[in-house]
Amino acid sequence: MSLSLAADAAAMTATVLSAFGDLPQLRRIAATGDIAGVSAATAALGVTTELTWFAYSADESLWTAMPESALMALANIALLVLVCRRGATWRPPVFGAIGWALVLAGIGVAGGTRTLGAVLGAAYLVQVAPAVWTVLREPVPSGVATSTWVLIAIEASLWGMYGIVRDDPATMTFAVVGAIAAGVIVMRTLTMRRRCYGITASASTSMRRSGSPRAATPIKVTGRMRSIPFDAATRVAPSTSAPILSGVQSTT
């Protein structure tokens, strides 16, 4: 197989991944209503960035890259609507996306397609930065679908291969930024969930060993039912389990 065919195959695979990549995140929010750690700003900025990628790909005759941009723009619109319906503020993200569109349009007009292409690679950093920041500052990013970001990391790697073969700096830069951002989000999400589960298990074990009459109340963590002990009379969790209450939704 020639490098050109391999690059096209990588682009088509990445396009398929992009078509299904946001489904775990959309399904998670729709099922649980939990948006902890999910950034509305990234979704709004993503609409602008992906539409710009679509125009750039058309101008540079990167035909196999165009379907991915269109699909991702639609996915970001769906995610933005869903997150805002679940309580996120829509005005700052939408106005930010409009401002970002004006910036990219100005760059395209002033510097031409090649300049816009050089900026687009780094533009993904602007898009994904709010997502990384939101996950890092959220005590328990229970609304984030880890599988979506794993797929984004794989997709970015495939686009990196495509960019190298096609000698397209914008695509190569996007691949590096996307892979790093996805890696940070996945590691942060898994680490905080594991820590949360560890605290919960430790508290429950401690209560059983002490023979305490305290009961356990179910709480929702990352879309699954977990239990922590609480005093049946005061309905106050013991101090050992207090750290996990931030960002956790009780079902009682």
Query: Residue-wise pLDDT tens for the chain (252 aa)?
Result: 588 888 889 988 988 888 788 899 999 999 999 999 999 999 999 999 999 989 888 888 888 778 888 988 999 999 999 999 999 999 999 999 999 999 999 998 998 888 888 888 778 899 999 999 999 999 889 999 999 999 999 999 999 999 999 888 888 888 999 999 999 999 999 988 777 765 555 555 555 555 554 444 444 444 443 333 333 333 344 444 444 333 444 344
Q: Is-contact 177 131, C-beta < 8 A? A: no
The full set of domain ranges for the chain reads 3-193
Which strands sit side by side in the sheet containing 215-221, from one edge to the other? 224-230, 215-221, 249-250
pLDDT of residue 208: 58
> Measured between alpha carbons, how far is 138 from 169 in angstroms, rounded to an integer?
33
Q: Is-contact 223 204, C-beta < 8 A? A: no
